[in-house]
């Protein structure tokens, strides 16, 4: 019997405009805590905030993984890969860590003790996810649940019901959600391990991971030590100039931007449109917001 800690979206980075703590050290401390409490750790995508990182970040993450050698498993998230292209893995930080053997990077299915885990990638491919006829396996995915993001990135609840996995853990959505019981499946989305963005829910939420028992697939929701938002975010972090907070979210903006016609990227790109109406300083600020909130800038 083993205990597995399952976490979502750590987003390791050394740069965060809206926090006044050392974000890199905070992330590593949280991962270290979860690893110290469990025999294994599974990361449901987006271990990193960007696909390539500095030597400093690589070395610090490598040191942590080797401290808990053999414990860490991960699936790739959209931030971990270059253009969601697995064939370019060797150009990414997560790929380099996998090549060193410090991290088990999983793309299809894997097993820990007697438990079988099935992987779902950011761009969902139902043809590669077999139905769990025995209702005894665990689906680990980096996917939204309808209707957030683009259609290729989300599961419908009917799809989850038909796949029939006993437990479904999904990353990608940083916001924590209550457990859902869908057919024979339990859907778990506990929210990101770190408060990487400034959506209003991060003002008040707690940080959790799930501990899974491999003997019987029993699970427990466990708190990760963390400070209150007022102690880590800058005073301006949750302000949105000129709009009420409830008027718009960056996910909604991302949905609109994703519908831009790409027939002629040179003429139709957001960047070229902004060049006509915004200053360089304003453009750089918008680029930073896109990066911070995981919205593609083109």
Instruction: Kindly report, residue by residue over 160-200, the tens digit of the pLDDT.
Output: 999 999 999 999 999 999 999 999 999 999 999 999 999 99
Strand partners, 115: 112
Q: Give me the pLDDT at residue 274, please.
A: 72
Average pLDDT over residues 193-219: 95
Of the CATH numbers 3.60.21.10, 3.50.4.10, 3.40.50.800, 3.40.309.10, which one belongs to the domain with range 3-230?
3.60.21.10
Q: Please provide the average confidence, as pLDDT, over all residues in the chain.
A: 88
> DSSP secondary structure string, 213-274?
ETTT--EEEEEPP---HHHHB-TTTT--TTS-GGG--HHHHHHHHTTS--TTHHHH-HHHHH
Neighbours of 227 (CB within 10 A): 12
Q: What confidence tier does 243 reach under pLDDT thresholds 50, 70, 90? A: very low
Q: What confidence tier does 240 reach under pLDDT thresholds 50, 70, 90? A: low
Q: Give me the pLDDT at residue 255, please.
A: 52
With 0-12 CB in 10 A as exposed, 13-18 as middle and 19+ as buried, what is 281?
A: exposed
Helix ranges (DSSP H) in 37-150: 55-67, 93-100
Q: What confidence tier does 217 reach under pLDDT thresholds 50, 70, 90? A: very high
Q: Give me the pLDDT at residue 147, please.
A: 87
- Greatest alpha-carbon span in the chain: 62
**Structural domain boundaries in the chain:** 3-230, 245-292
DSSP one-letter code for 101: T
Separation between Cα atoms, residue 239 and residue 242, nearest integer Å: 9
- For the stretch 32-43, pLDDT in tens is 999 999 999 999
No. of H helices and E strands in the chain? 9, 14
- For the stretch 96-151, pLDDT in tens is 999 999 999 999 999 999 999 999 999 999 999 999 999 999 999 999 999 887 88
Strand partners, 48: 12
Separation between Cα atoms, residue 33 and residue 153, nearest integer Å: 30
User: How far are the Cα atoms of 19, 35, 57, 118, 222 from residue 5, in angstroms, in the given order?
Assistant: 26, 7, 23, 16, 9
């Amino acid at each position: 019997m083993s205990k597995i800690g399952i976490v979502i979206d750590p987003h390791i980075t050394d740069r965060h405009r809206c926090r006044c703590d050392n974000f890199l050290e905070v992330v590593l401390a949280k991962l270290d805590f979860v690893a110290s409490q469990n025999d294994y750790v599974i990361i449901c995508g987006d271990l990193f905030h960007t696909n390539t990182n500095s030597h400093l970040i690589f070395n610090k993450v490598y040191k942590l993984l080797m401290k808990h050698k053999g414990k860490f498993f991960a699936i790739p998230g959209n931030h971990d890969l270059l253009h969601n292209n697995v064939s370019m893995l060797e150009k990414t930080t997560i790929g380099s860590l996998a090549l060193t053997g410090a991290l088990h990077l999983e793309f299809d299915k894997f097993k820990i003790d007697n438990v079988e885990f099935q992987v779902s990638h950011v761009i969902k491919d139902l043809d590669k996810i077999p139905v769990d006829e025995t209702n005894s396996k665990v689906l680990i995915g980096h996917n939204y649940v309808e209707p957030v993001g683009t259609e290729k990135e989300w599961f419908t609840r009917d799809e989850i019901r038909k796949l029939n996995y006993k437990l479904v853990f999904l990353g990608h959505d940083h916001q924590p959600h209550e457990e859902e019981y869908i057919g024979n499946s339990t859907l778990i989305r506990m929210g990101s391990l770190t408060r990487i963005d400034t959506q209003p829910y991060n003002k008040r939420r707690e940080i959790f991971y799930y501990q899974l028992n491999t003997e019987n697939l029993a699970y427990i929701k466990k708190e990760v030590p963390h400070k209150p938002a007022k102690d880590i975010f800058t005073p301006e972090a949750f302000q949105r100039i000129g709009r009420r907070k409830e008027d718009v979210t960056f996910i909604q903006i991302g949905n609109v931007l994703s519908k831009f016609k790409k027939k002629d990227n040179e003429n139709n790109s957001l960047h070229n449109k902004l060049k006509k109406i915004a200053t360089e300083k304003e453009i750089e600020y918008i680029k930073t917001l896109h990066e911070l909130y995981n919205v593609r800038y083109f």
